[in-house]
A and B are shown apart, each in its own frame.
Chain A
Amino acid sequence: MPVPPQPDLTADAAPVTERELPAGVVSDALAPDAGSDGPVLRRRLPLSFWISAVFLALVILAAITADWLPFVDNVEDYDPTALAAGPSGDHLFGTTSNGNDVLSIVVQGARTSLTVGLFAVALGFFFGGLLGLVAGYFRGWFDTVISAVIDILLAFPALVLALAIVSFKGPSLTVVTITLGILAIPAVARVARAATLQYASREFVLAARTLGASHKRVIFREVLPNVVIPMAAVSLVAVAVVMVAESGLAFLGAGVPADTPSWGSLMKLGQGQLDKGAAHICLFPAAALFLTVYSLNTIGDTLRQRFDVGRGIL
């Protein structure tokens, strides 16, 4: 959605919808009441942050070590004695109608989702960040052109575009990743530009210029380090948005290839079984996606709030 929406890479806070909203609207709406809990820097991170971080760490660990985990079968393995069987000792999350172990697919699907999420966001942040930095720093005609192009691209429903590109290009991990990465560029560029604008006219930038530093040096050594922090919080939410988009595309049958394990295609497979007493096929990947997205959003939101408040003190 969205795709993503969405829908939906607008960096700030509200996942999924973010991209559709004018800059600031969501972040303002979701910002906490500043300082309600005492001194910002000494405030401890909330429990929800740590639970999310631990869960996310587990997901990442499982995705990396999937091949060596004892409870994860190969993609081809199936159990002919257990077709669409509910959760049991042998199959903790049950099996699909083909006898595949649902837990194994969920773990391997985590690998697919995370791969797409991380690489697409890296792509989007590299190019989008660069564009936003340059546009926000130099302003002028370049900024005008870039901003207009961003507005036009954001005016196009991203999920629809992704759906069309992926289904025509043919399903592959690379196509999905690159498509979602490219679609992230305008939203990221907008956020990076807004963040850059805040610093580009500050005293330390002026001082560096006066001392004779080149534009390149000022951008990368003075502005970038300040912009990177808020962008990092945003990037976590962006990973969540991309993971949702990846699953959504796979659910629509336009995602990663059929033989690549994916939460979206598992949900698609399971949807037909919802009313046949095998709801676990659909609900386990659904829960995995929800918890992962929730964790990413919680961590991103916590960091962003902390950062926003911190920016106020500077």
Chain B
Amino acid sequence: MAYFARKIGFLLIVLIAVTFLAAALIRLLPGDPATVIAGASGATEEELDQVRTDLGLDDPLPVQYVGWLGDAVQLDLGRSYISKLEVRDTISERAPVSFQLMLYAQIITLLIAVPLGVFTAYKAGTRFDRTANGITFAFLSLPNFVLGFLLIYLFAVKWNLLPASDYQPLSDSIVGNLKGLVLPALSLGLGQVAVYSRLLRVDMIATLQEDYVTMAKAKGLPIRRVLWRHALRPSSLGLLTVVGVNVGSLIGGAVVVEQVFQIPGVGLGLIGAIQARDYIVLQGLVAFVAIVYVLVNFSVDVLYAVLDPRVRHARASAA
């Protein structure tokens, strides 16, 4: 219990720190937000003052932050001065899109990585193992936007199989949605195959040395059954953690991939807000991304501790 209490305490500190950082970011940047907001040069000094007062720009940073936080906990993240849209609505519109992209990326990655990890473990040290390792390592070195260009060139331009940029909501067309997101998901996910499959491979190799696996084989169970039913499950705990933690790197990657494929997710929103100097939207989106990131990492940590009691006891005794 003390373990979870400490975790939650730390979680709150981190949440406050990252949202404060998002606020500070905008404050520390050069330029006067009021000028941008009130519309460049046309605004009079009174109008500028009005904007500053509205936004609390004259207050010290901590005061601004507390004000923002007070609104934010009531899910009020302010309103864009450019599009006049609520930041909250922008997020609820864009987040599901990014979420789908990351979900598809994870699914594709796991579909490739799990069988690969299982078989490379079974065939450890063989030519198949080395080849698979070499190929996945190459994909690991392929930045996701570079992979994106390559996929666009091959699948959209050369073979004309899939669209280069055509996002359709799931509610419009399931097939259209999948078609539009396959290439982005591949760009985002393929690099991670190496991380997942190698991790699973190492854990599987250890599991395959266990007595009960030898026992299962000695009983004459088909090797397929031994691998998938007996060995995979105890080997997959490490993989689970990394899949969770990896959501973090996917968030960063998704920003770039959304730009490559012009997918209207949070990342594209962020880039748009930066280019338009849309401070309120930017602060809201950065805070949102950071919060999601922190919460995912936290959940993985806790889940891991729940699944494997050794973790919380080890940490409790180490502290």
Task: List the interface of chain A (C-beta within 8 A of B).
Answer: 1-8, 14-17, 19-22, 25-26, 28-31, 33, 36, 48, 148, 151-152, 155-161, 163-165, 167-170, 240, 244, 247-248, 251-254, 267, 270-271, 274-275, 279, 282-283, 286, 289-290, 293-294, 297-298, 301
In the complex, the answer to whether A156 meets B252 with C-beta atoms within 8 Å is no
In the complex, the answer to whether A286 meets B149 with C-beta atoms within 8 Å is yes
Instruction: Give Cα A125–Cα B14 distance, bound, in whole angstroms.
Output: 24
In the complex, the answer to whether B246 meets A152 with C-beta atoms within 8 Å is no
- A25-B238, A168-B31 known; A157+B137 contact, CB < 8 A: no
- A155-B290, A274-B152 known; A164+B202 contact, CB < 8 A: no
Q: What are 14 A-B residue pairs whose CB atoms fall within 8 Å in the complex?
A: A2-B249, A5-B253, A7-B252, A15-B140, A28-B202, A48-B134, A155-B14, A156-B290, A158-B252, A247-B143, A248-B256, A252-B255, A267-B149, A279-B157
Residues of chain A with a CB closer than 8 A to B191's CB: 16-17
Instruction: Give Cα A161–Cα B18 distance, bound, in whole angstroms.
Output: 11
Number of A-B contacts (CB under 8 A): 200
Task: List the interface of chain B (C-beta within 8 A of A).
Answer: 10, 13-14, 17-18, 21, 25, 29-31, 124-125, 134, 137-138, 140-146, 149-150, 152-153, 156-157, 164, 191-192, 194-195, 198-199, 201-202, 205, 238, 241-242, 245-246, 248-249, 251-253, 255-256, 259-260, 270-271, 274-275, 282, 286, 289-290, 293-294, 297
Residues of chain B with a CB closer than 8 A to A8's CB: 249, 252
Most chain B C-beta atoms within 10 Å of own C-beta, residue among A22, A155, A251, A267: A155
Partner of B21, one of A25, A156, A167: A156
In the complex, the answer to whether A157 meets B145 with C-beta atoms within 8 Å is no
The residue in chain B whose Cβ has the minimal distance to the Cβ of A17 is B249
In the complex, the answer to whether A275 meets B164 with C-beta atoms within 8 Å is yes
- A274-B157, A279-B157 known; A157+B199 contact, CB < 8 A: no
Measured CB to CB, the closest approach of chain B to A300, in angstroms, equals 11
The residue in chain A whose Cβ has the minimal distance to the Cβ of B21 is A156
In the complex, the answer to whether B141 meets A294 with C-beta atoms within 8 Å is yes
In the complex, the answer to whether B152 meets A152 with C-beta atoms within 8 Å is no
Instruction: Give Cα A163–Cα B14 distance, bound, in whole angstroms.
Output: 21
The residue in chain A whose Cβ has the minimal distance to the Cβ of B283 is A164
In the complex, the answer to whether A274 meets B14 with C-beta atoms within 8 Å is no
Residues of chain B with a CB closer than 8 A to A165's CB: 25, 29
Measured CB to CB, the closest approach of chain A to B234, in angstroms, equals 16
